Amino acid sequence: MYYRGEVTIAVCPGSFDPLTLGHLDIVRRARSLFDEVVLGVARNSSKSALLSAEQRVEIARAALDASPGLEDVRVAIVPGLLVDFCREVGAVAVVKGLRGGADFDAELPMALMNRHLVGVETVFVPGDPALAHVASSLVKDVARFGGPVDDLVPAGVGDLVRQALADRAAGSTPAAEQTRQAQQATPTTEGTGR
Ligand code: PNS
């Protein structure tokens, strides 16, 4: 992919619930390929977020600021469709990391749908094999049962996850509160499967 004389912008989208060292690895690889990278904190309608979108943005911003070479990566909330966000920021590609075949199976339909919608291409980047076991869902699961996760996520994120899990166990989280307010504002019958 070479756009003569033009700045190439890529979007690294995800739920980032929470951001992990695996995500940072992919952002770093994306940054080595494109002039500009935007990390897009998006909503995956098949998942229920533990952390609010604002928390996920703050985590990403702090982690990128603390990662030499990634300070210029922008962070933004994807308010709706990823393809609309890509158009708004002028992205020529979406970058997604692959840990293995299961990731590819999950990602390919989304990549094809995004191409169908607006023609944006998805670049799949193999992640660091040393981080192949690192997934946000597993980080939450290990933390939920008191296991150590601080070496899988950027500094301070383990504490935020443990706090959010404790809040959820007590009946309230920023993400749950956000969902509750959104549901009050706009009643919906939207399904959660995919
Ligand atoms: O980290 P994830 O959950 O695997 O990322 C999936 C995500 C959030 C990138 C995807 O669900 C997404 O693009 N959501 C934004 C809404 C959208 O565009 N949905 C259609 C995807 S084809």
Q: Strand pairing of 93-98 and 121-126?
A: parallel
State the alpha helices, DSSP H only, in 38-194.
53-65, 82-89, 101-118, 136-144, 157-169, 174-185
pTM, entire model:
0.89
- Quote the pLDDT of residue 172: 75
Angle at 163 between CA 170 and CA 11, to 5 degrees: 120
Token code pair at residue 64: 């990128």
Angle at 22 between CA 74 and CA 92, to 5 degrees: 45
Q: What is the pLDDT of residues 83-124, one digit of tens each?
A: 999 999 999 999 999 999 999 999 999 999 999 999 999 999
Q: What is the arrangement of strands in the sheet containing 93-98, beginning at the earlier edge strand?
A: 74-77, 36-41, 9-14, 93-98, 121-126
Q: 42, 41, 78, 85: which is closest to 60 by C-alpha?
A: 41
Say if ligand 1 is within 6 A of residue 115 CB: no
Confidence of residue 184 (pLDDT cuts 50, 70, 90): confident
Q: Residue 1 above 80 pLDDT?
A: no
CB 14 within 8 A of CB 51: no
- For atom 22 of ligand 1, which residue has the closest CA? 110
Q: Residue 32 above 60 pLDDT?
A: yes
Confidence of residue 159 (pLDDT cuts 50, 70, 90): very high
What residues contact residue 151 under an 8 Å CB cut-off, 6+ apart?
none
Q: What span, in angstroms and rounded, lies between the C-alpha atoms of 192 and 37?
A: 30
Q: What is the pLDDT of residues 132-153, one digit of tens each?
A: 999 999 999 999 999 999 999 9
Q: What is the pLDDT of residues 124-134, one digit of tens each?
A: 999 999 999 99
Per annotation, catalytic residue among 15, 28, 31, 136: 136
CB 164 within 8 A of CB 56: no
Q: Among 79-83, 94-98, 174-178, where is mean pLDDT lowest?
A: 174-178
Token code pair at residue 68: 């030499």
Per annotation, catalytic residue among 23, 29, 31, 140: 23
Length of the chain: 194
Q: Give the CA count within 13 Å in the CB-facing half-sphere of 62.
A: 15
Respond yes or no: is residue 136 known to be catalytic: yes
Angle at 72 between CA 68 and CA 77, to 5 degrees: 120
- Quote the pLDDT of residue 5: 67
